[in-house]
Amino acid sequence: MPPPPPLPEFTKSVNLKYVKLGYQYLVNNILTFLLIPVAVSILVQALQLGPAELLNLYKSLNFDFLHIVCSSFLVVYIATFYLMSRPRTIYLVDYACFKPPCSLRVPFAKALEHGRIILSSQPKAVSFQLKIIERSGLGEETCLPPAIHYLPPEPSMAAAREEAQMVIFSAMDTLLKKTSLKPKDIDILIVNCSLFSPTPSLSAMVVNKYKLRSNIKSFNLSGMGCSAGLISIDLARDLLQVHPNSNAVIVSTEILTPNCYTGNQRSMLLPNCLFRMGGAAILLSNRWSDSRRAKYRLVHVVRTHKGSEDKAYNCVHQEEDPEGHVGISLSIDLMVIAGEALKSNITTIGPLVLPASEQLLFLFSLLGRKIFKKKWKAYVPDFKQAFEHFCIHAGGRAVIDELQKNLQLSAEHVEASRMTLHRFGNTSSSSLWYEMGYIEAKGRMRKGDRVWQIAFGSGFKCNSAVWKCNRTIKKPVDGPWIDCIDRYPVHIPDVVKL
């Protein structure tokens, strides 16, 4: 008797992608599927009743004038209580990014020439910087402030203030022009800059320049790393919740002039190779009148702080080297710590944004691993079901690679981050806004699209912000990408041989 024919392999006979899509559609719309039969049956029963029967049914409810007045009062009271107690909607009206002048460009050849001259007695340090630049993912158009172009660099308090004025005032001027906002109408001002914290503060510098009101609520955040931009968003959100009918302007930047490391410690040379000039100014509002013109609506802000762990606290540390040169030291454990911080952050944000189908799959995976230990493969939630766009802090190529791998993102999902790193370098807390600008310049932002901004910072912190697009955004006619967007995306090789 011949053996029965083998059964076809399930994975080859069925396209599992469509099975998963069907499952997601079913679970995410389960309430609709349950309510539709109930609604249809009620409608059928109502249609079978005649006008007289419907009138008798209404009379049997025994509604009188007192019942109607009390019921109306109760409905109005509940509606008023709900509207007064729910959080105010926060709108992102618009934002502007600083575009450095071409005269401040730092091509690879210039960066290496300066490195060889400044570190002429340390050939190993020069060789290390060469390897970093070759693999950095940066392009030839990134910029550094004027004082760092000198040989040797000439950092000073005056030069740092000039850089701050150049970056901040340029971004502010553009924002005021784009939004037609008058300086006197700014109610809240937040400036974040981690490494340069002068007296008077940078926020006071803005107040003085634009002659802002004497009762303005101004804040200056320092020492909070590249994730300080989202911390500023969170602070502005909280302030706008308690101050109705208000505008908040946020300025995110990093001033590089006083922080150029001139020593030879490898862990401190790395920031020199990655950090570049940049800044952004953002206008938030809780005014209902801004709801139509606003670009985005703030949905969630989730902050994760790992500073209670010594390794996380020390992984990005400003200190002196043995020769007394001040710089930022990056630990070898940085990526591992960033991964742990990201895991904690997405564990918190996942239930807020993921559809029910993904949450159920994650729950089943978790239970399976508890029962079968490590034999059961962990399920990574598909965040592509929750977001159309991803803005990952352009801190470096390794950061983007790691998040793309862990979140299972496509090349297009991380395109904005890679191209921002290539064109502008690591601009610290403002990098997320250059990435948002890239997506808009490509004409990809549609009404209803959801955007996930992810940033990392010293301390160690991982912060997230979720935005929903308020209207389809047309390609801008200005901005930092206007003169180069047509040639992006570009191919970025793993190693650029110099």
> Which residues are designated catalytic?
226, 305, 389, 393, 422, 426
The C-alpha R_g of the chain, in whole angstroms, comes to 28
Which residues does residue 454 pair with via DSSP β-bridges, in sequence order? Answer: 392, 464
Integer Cα distance of 172 and 193 in angstroms:
15
Integer Cα distance of 50 and 56 in angstroms:
10
Residue 177, SS3?
helix
Integer Cα distance of 347 and 118 in angstroms:
46
Residue spans of beta strands (DSSP E) within 70-163: 91-97
Residue 169 neighbours by CB under 8 Å, 6+ apart: 209
Q: For residue 282, how far is the Cα from the chain centroid?
A: 13
Which residues does residue 473 pair with via DSSP β-bridges, in sequence order? Answer: none
| 303 in Cβ contact with 230 (< 8 Å) | yes
Residue 284, SS3?
strand
Residue 426, SS3?
strand
Phi-psi region at 80: left, alpha or beta (left = phi > 0; alpha = psi -120 to 50): alpha
Q: How many residues does the chain have?
A: 498
In DSSP notation, 219-239 reads EEE-S-GGGHHHHHHHHHHHH
Amino acid at 235: L
Number of other CB atoms surrounding residue 344 within 10 Å: 15
| 97 in Cβ contact with 479 (< 8 Å) | yes
